Amino acid sequence: MHKTIDYYFAPQSPWTYLGHTRFAEIAAAAGATVRVRPIDMGSVFPVSGGLPLGKRAPQRQAYRLVEMARFSRYLGLPMNTKPKFFPVAGDDAARIIIAVDINDGTAAAMRMCSAVFAAVWVQERNIGDPNVLEALVVECGLPAKRSEQSQSQAVQERYEAYTQEAIDIQVFGAPSYVIDGEIFWGQDRLDFVERALRQ
């Protein structure tokens, strides 16, 4: 049976970066439809008990770095665990991804995701800078005007709707993959995503 996966993430999330390529491959192999859903974790955390990185206990912050390096090695993905432009607001990048999704479709939006994630975690680029985002759009072979379109009211409303949707279904972290109402939180749950798509 054909499956749909709602893909909730924050553009600046390291775990979303680490899982993105594998997730895309799993979804494609299963013939599943992906619905790209960038969300504002700054709105999700207060209602879900989450804390922004700077407010977490030191031992949690330290272990996060260990896990990021561990998964980077395991997955064979390059990663700067302490990138130059992080923490960084993900709102403008989220809106760019939504604008691409609206105008160019899911495959283009997934490519845009790849570019944004790599910009933060590999290339030391600032996704909070509109000029960087416009450059990423062009590098993905998309019209530069997507940058301007991302500032539209329609895109903002969709961003807010995706965030509220995530809150309503009890998503609390990024990335979260939702299949038939079941949440799979974290790129380390992709084995379970793959199994769910086979059922």
Is the Cβ–Cβ distance between 168 and 4 less than 8 Å? no
How many angstroms from the chain centroid is the CA of residue 194? 18
Q: What is the pLDDT of residue 126?
A: 98
d(CA 33, CA 40): 23
Residue 129 DSSP symbol: S
What does each C-alpha distance from 123 to 84, 86, 132, 147, 162 come to in angstroms? Answer: 9, 12, 11, 20, 28
Amino acid code (one letter) for 162:
Y
pLDDT in tens, 160-185: 999 999 999 999 999 999 999 999 99
Concatenated DSSP letters of 91-117 = HHHHHHHHHHHHHH-HHHHHHHHHHHH
Coil, helix or strand for 183? strand
Is-contact 118 162, C-beta < 8 A?
A: no
The answer to whether 40 touches 91, Cβ cutoff 8 Å, is yes
What pTM value is reported for the model?
A: 0.96
- Would you place residue 129 in the very low, low, confident or very high pLDDT band (cuts 50, 70, 90)? very high
Mean pLDDT, the chain, whole residue set: 97
